[in-house]
Structure 1
Amino acid sequence: MKKLLSVLTFALLIPTQAFGNPPSTFSEAKVIAKQKIYLDQANSSMGELYCGCKWTWVGKSGGRIDPESCGLKARKQENRAERTEWEHIVPAWTFGNQRQCWKNGGRENCVGDDPVFRAMEADLFNLYPSVGEVNGDRSNFNYGMAPGIAPQYGQCKTRVDFTQRAAEPRDEVKGLVARTTFYMFDRYKLNMSRQQQQLLMAWDKQYPVSPWEKERDRRISAIMGHANPFVTGERQWTQGYKTVGDGVVGGLTVNPPKATARPTLASANEVGTIIGNRKSQVYHLSVGCPGYGKLSAKNQISFSSESEAQAAGYRKAGNCK
């Protein structure tokens, strides 16, 4: 009963307007992930991704690791081992490297020019708090087996094979990272090696969906507007699986079913939508504001009303009539 009340209480913290309104940047995604997905998980038995450590929230989206809660010991970087970082379960390099924007100028170019990359980078299903040093050591390595690697982080069970460029996460999250990887590759039509498919399919089968993974999926789907079909059981990855690509059409991000679409530069003149500038914390109305529709896509945030914008700390542009 106590656990049920905790879940219900947390659910009440998610404002109604957030449903089906996914973040549009990685920075925004980290704040939302803290507030609406992991806020009550800092002291949970599950802990952060790689070592199961508990943590204390610091600032808008950061945290400080409690090493005694998980027997963590730094491998080399003590400062980084003391903090949480947001791990992309499928690394930004992995999905970015399959986009033309990455070949033309790397991550910075993708953030500025590719709406699909921005959607992938900010996808809440792909984010999880983790010990900073382990996150850094994992780098852009694929998940794999590391049987010959001795413990590297005290009692933490995740191991990184730097020679083979592979990271083996602890057993408790192997199923979760497998189903998250399936989701990302399926939704954004990415290519996965046969070897990686075989390993992740084995983890998917060996480590079935846990109650927390179902709850995590519920919380994220309320914001993103869709669930992970590999968690709900609607889809099953098999060898040679043909990716659907329901997050990509003609190079643009698809609006999920029943989701509220965020305006882009192409649709910024839609009457009634309010556009905010993340840098200046100023918002513009669709009527009477000369700056409306002139913001770069990466700096945009949308609001359904002026009161919502003001509640988020934004003020109306001074040149609005």
Structure 2
Amino acid sequence: MKSLLYALTLLFSFTFPALASPPATFTEAKVVAKQKVYMDQASSAMGDLYCGCKWTWVGKSGGRIDAASCGYQTRKQQNRAERTEWEHIVPAYTFGNQRQCWKNGGREHCVDDDPVFRAMEADLFNLYPAVGEVNGDRSNFNYGMVAGNPGQYGQCSTKVDFVQRAAEPRDEVKGLVARTTFYMYDRYKLSMSRQQQQLLMAWDKQHPVSAWEKERNRRIASIMGHANPFVTGERKWTANYKPQGSGVVQAAPAAVPRAQAKPSLASAGSAGSAGSAGAVLGNRNSHVYHLSVGCPGYAQVAAKNQVTFATEGEAQAAGYRKAGNCR
């Protein structure tokens, strides 16, 4: 009976319209993930990513952990242990460090000026609710096999080794974690160490795709416009796998129209006061503006996010701030 109901649910869910476009920012992605992907998972048997805890939704995208539902015991940070946080399965630090923007100014700079980073940060396949304390403890550590540390979080079997800087998730999600990591490295053409590849390939083999992982993939695909090919079986990560990088191409900034590429003579002589339309270009997502001269990010604002101002004063009056990397 349960299998019949599940099949009917899948059939019916295909009739729901997909979103017009994937979320453009991490903030938006968290809300969409709650409403469209994990809306019914707060009380499911699967629970949160690392501990299988149930939770109660709070606000737009937050949650309150039910520690008794999973036997969770706080290690150190009580406030974070009581709430859900949105874990990037592949940490923002990890994928950000492979972008030039991170080297130029860290995460904030990447959010302001790199559309590929914003796409990675908001990619729904890489997001999952998790106990805040475990999310914080995992930090940007690679996944690994952790010897010892039993009962670190009570009955939660995820373990973190702070000395070796490694995190071993519970068995129930090792396959999901591996296939999500493959997806991110493949889609955004990232570089992975051989040791990490070998571990994740082993987890992929040992822990096949579950019914929930298939459903999660279907829900996210209806929003993102594409599935995770490592879940559907279209692709298989091997030791010599070459990442495709399709997400890098799709997230690349559109060319700035020629009329906006150069300021008029008047604007060139007035150092960002009154100038031609397009001499001040804002990003409606980050609320950061760039000048056509002296701001490297000017040519990197995606066409759909562009808003032009005649002067810096006009941009500031609209609530925009100048990009931090302008010379």
Normalising by the residue count of structure 2, what TM-score does the alignment of the two structures yield? 0.77
Q: Matches of 1:137 and 1:30 in 2, distance apart?
A: 20
Deviation at 1:5, TM superposition (A): 7.8
Q: Which amino acid aligns with 2:48?
A: E
Residues 1:79 and 2:66 are matched in the alignment: no
Q: Do the aligned partners of 1:111 and 1:298 also contact (CA within 8 Å) in 2?
A: no
Distance (whole Å) between structure 2 residues aligned to residue 302 and residue 69 of structure 1: 47
What's 1:258 paired with? none
Correspondence list, 1:227-306, <5 A: 227-249=227-249, 253=251, 266=256, 295-299=282-286
The equivalent residue for 1:58 is 58
- 2:130 aligns to what SS in structure 1? strand
Can you list the C-alpha shifts for 1:213-268, whole angstroms capped at 9, x where unaligned? 0000000000000000000000000002111101113xx616xxxxxxxx97848x
Q: CA deviation at 1:147?
A: 1.9
Counterpart in the other structure of 1:211 = 211
Q: Identity of counterpart residues, as a percentage?
A: 73
Unaligned runs of 5+ in 1: 255-262, 270-289, 304-316
Rg comparison, structure with higher value = 2
The DSSP-based 3-state class of the residue aligned with 2:65 is: strand
Which letter does structure 1 place at the counterpart of 2:184? M
Matches within 5 A, 1:304-315: none
SS at match of 1:39: coil
Q: Is the 8 A contact 1:265 1:294 kept in 2?
A: no
Structure 2 equivalent of residue 310 of structure 1:
none
One-letter amino acid of the counterpart of residue 18, structure 1: L
- Residues 1:72 and 1:247: Cα distance change in structure 2 (over 3 Å): same
1:10 deviates by 8.6
Contact 2:18 2:222 in 1 (8 A): no
Provide the alpha-carbon RMSD of the alignment.
2.7
1:18 is aligned to: 19
How many residue pairs get aligned? The number is 270
Query: In structure 2, do the counterparts of structure 1 residues 169 and 295 end up closer, same or farther at CA, with 3 Å as the change threshold?
Result: same
- For the residue of structure 1 that corresponds to 2:222, the secondary structure is helix
Displacement of 1:4 after TM fit? 2.5
Alpha carbons of structure 1 residues 102 and 237: separation in structure 2 relative to 1, 3 Å? same
C-alpha displacement of 1:7: 3.5
Aligned partner of residue 156 in structure 1, secondary structure: coil
**Residue identity in the other structure for 2:99:** R
CA contact (8 A) 2:197 2:239 kept: yes
2:116 corresponds to 1:129: no
Deviation at 1:79, TM superposition (A): 1.1
Structure 1 distance, partners of 2:146, 2:203, is 14
TM-score (norm 1): 0.78
Contact 1:86 1:127 in 2 (8 A): yes
Change (3 A) 1:155 1:243: same
Aligned partners of 2:96 and 2:110 also within 8 Å: yes
Matches of 1:126 and 1:265, distance apart in 2:
28
